[in-house]
Structure 1
Amino acid sequence: MKLQQVLNNLLSNAVKFTENGAVTLFATTEKREEELYLVCTVTDTGIGIGADKLDSVFESFVQAGSDMVRRYGGTGLGLSITKRLIELQGGKITVSSTYGEGTSFYFELPLTLSEMVTNEPQVPQLEQAQLSASLLAGKKILLIEDNIVNQKVTYLMLHKAGMEVHIANHGKEAVAFLEKETYDLIITDLQMPEMDGFQTAAYIRKKMQINIPIIAMTASALRNEKDRCMELGMNEYLTKPFAPATLFFHLKRFLLKEESSTSPVAETEESKTSGLYNLSFLEEMDDAEYASEVLDLFLTLTPTALNEVKDLTFREEWKEVFRKAHSLKSGLGILQMQPMLETITQIEANAKAQENTDAIESLLQQAFQQYELVKPMLEAELESSRKKVVL
């Protein structure tokens, strides 16, 4: 739940528009029948909002007036984003105000069972997971991946557990590594230039006669792809995005010979959300610096990638549109940006089949809009993560 961002937006707005007086936050819980609600009110003694503006205050790019923009700045997106975040959690927000006297925002959110219970029962499980991860320290991993976001995410995940990680950008580089070094396990993407994951696995097994475990990871999840991986001698197949716990589950299987009756894969599928984004995969690492690096990479690279897809679409280079759209899916999956991920997946499918390509332009416009909606939220998450690193 993005309660922190909701409160940050409301409180920063209240402070910005209050030159004298006070800003007050009141929070409580209310039980209604069998449900528990979090109820919050943010009240200020600031400039207030005119009655003619109250009905539109939650609309995108709307502020109290052009003179307010000149005096106080801002884009007019904060309250629109706040309302959307609250509604995505099943809550509601209202506003009351008297011009010249102040404003009060009231919102309520239903609390789920997982938010009401304490974390104490989970401590032994967490300690056991950390102990198992520590046993992986010193293991040598070859990561074959051409996407820089995936490289960063997977490298940091493994490096934090004490593993030594070498990165190859494609299969040919991987073969060069394997000719000089010995590894405990290989993690490979499937869609890569020069030499893809399928060709690489076949070469490693048949030509090089190397039998260390190979874990395939892909954003495609195409039909029969897993069977093809197994036929080529790979040992496991993961669909991106996957939670860190899922990867470590399989690392422990192959490197520590641990067997467990409970795989985290099913839990990962259930955790996916239909919301704008979800940082649970990053939060699972409990590392603010790691989260900051991933968010910064995503915010830096995504606009460029979208513009590249736009240019390629204009030139009708569908093979390259497919490749670039496919590369975008990884970052979107890690941040669980389901609406935008679905749009990019459709672009990828149309470009690969070279069918219904006329629809790609409008799909791409939709993807740009989806990114612009989420961008300020992720920027706020990035700022929050950076502050935690400093602390």
Structure 2
Amino acid sequence: MEDTTTLQFIWFVLISVLWIGYLILEGFDFGVGILFKLIGGDKEERRAILHTIGPVWDGNEVWLLVAGGATFAAFPEWYATLFSGFYLALFVILLALIVRNVGFEMWGKRDSDAWRTGWEWCIALGSLLPALLWGVAWANIISGIPMEPVATNGRESLEYVGNFFDLLSVYTLLGGVASLAIFFAHGALFLEMRTEGELREKAKAVAVKATPVAALLGAVFMAWTLIRQDSLEILSLISAVVAVGGFIVAAVSAKSNPVRAFIGTAAGIAFYFIAQFIDLFPNALVSSISPDFNMSLNMASSTDYTLTVMTVVAVLLVPVVLAYQAWTYWVFRHRVSAEGFGDVKSPLDLLDQKKEAAGGSGSNPGAGGEPAGS
């Protein structure tokens, strides 16, 4: 196996940062989306819940687009093998994200209980499935997937040779359940931090119960991951310990200090996935068939010229994007309360009212809205 070059290492680190940033930011979106139906007692509370993430959820998803694009550009073989092997799982994730995002936009468009209930289920399931499946996916990446050399058109390349059910095992399902519990607790703490009144108390009650469960499941998964290693990496061990420590801080602080608890889950998520990327290096993908079939970063990489150009572009643009997103969070930092919205008319209902008014008065000018001859 050829050694990893400096540029390849830099882009492996950058892609790791992009994925971790996405999972931290979108993680609380997932948690809020699941809680949207669980603790939102009436439409005012649910509207308030949506407003906590309304200004930022679409910006959070940009991290996913950039992470995927960077993986494609820097390590095209990694991208191709990963997305072809995980095709069905990634299709379900993307479909769930699309349905959830449409739900965010459509929930308040009509003042109808049936209308809102349907979109509430879309938001809840569209948040729950990605939270679970991202954990399953990353557990597969670090544990290994059925991958071996396959000759296609006279060219031999490493390809996924399993099926969807080969991605499911006790270990990978534990990874999925752990990530779901972590994102759920992360979202509850975000709501506790960003809401007021009765809604905040509901979020606090959930956070106090959810954070210890997240800490326990995260610790069990990290311990199993370390045990599975052929040789224990000290950096991986340190990252795992810090991750569990972050979750414990969150569990202890959830009732009294939601900001500290939220920082704890954010740090826990960061080091939880840092440990996984450390386990993966210097490979892009690990084969469960034979270590000889592992895909190294060097094998998966683009040319040095491509990586150099990408580095220059990243140095120029990434600080601007980070500054803009930080500004967005600062502007929308204030707490939200259910009482602050009042009776908000939905756009479709306002349109119906205008149509009714036009139908009653516009068809007979001069009648003042009354039938002719009355």
TM beyond 0.5: no
Higher percent of residues as helix = 2
Higher percent of residues as strand = 1
TM-score w.r.t. the length of structure 2 is: 0.25
Structure showing greater relative contact order (alpha-carbon pairs closer than 8 Å, 6 or more residues apart): 2
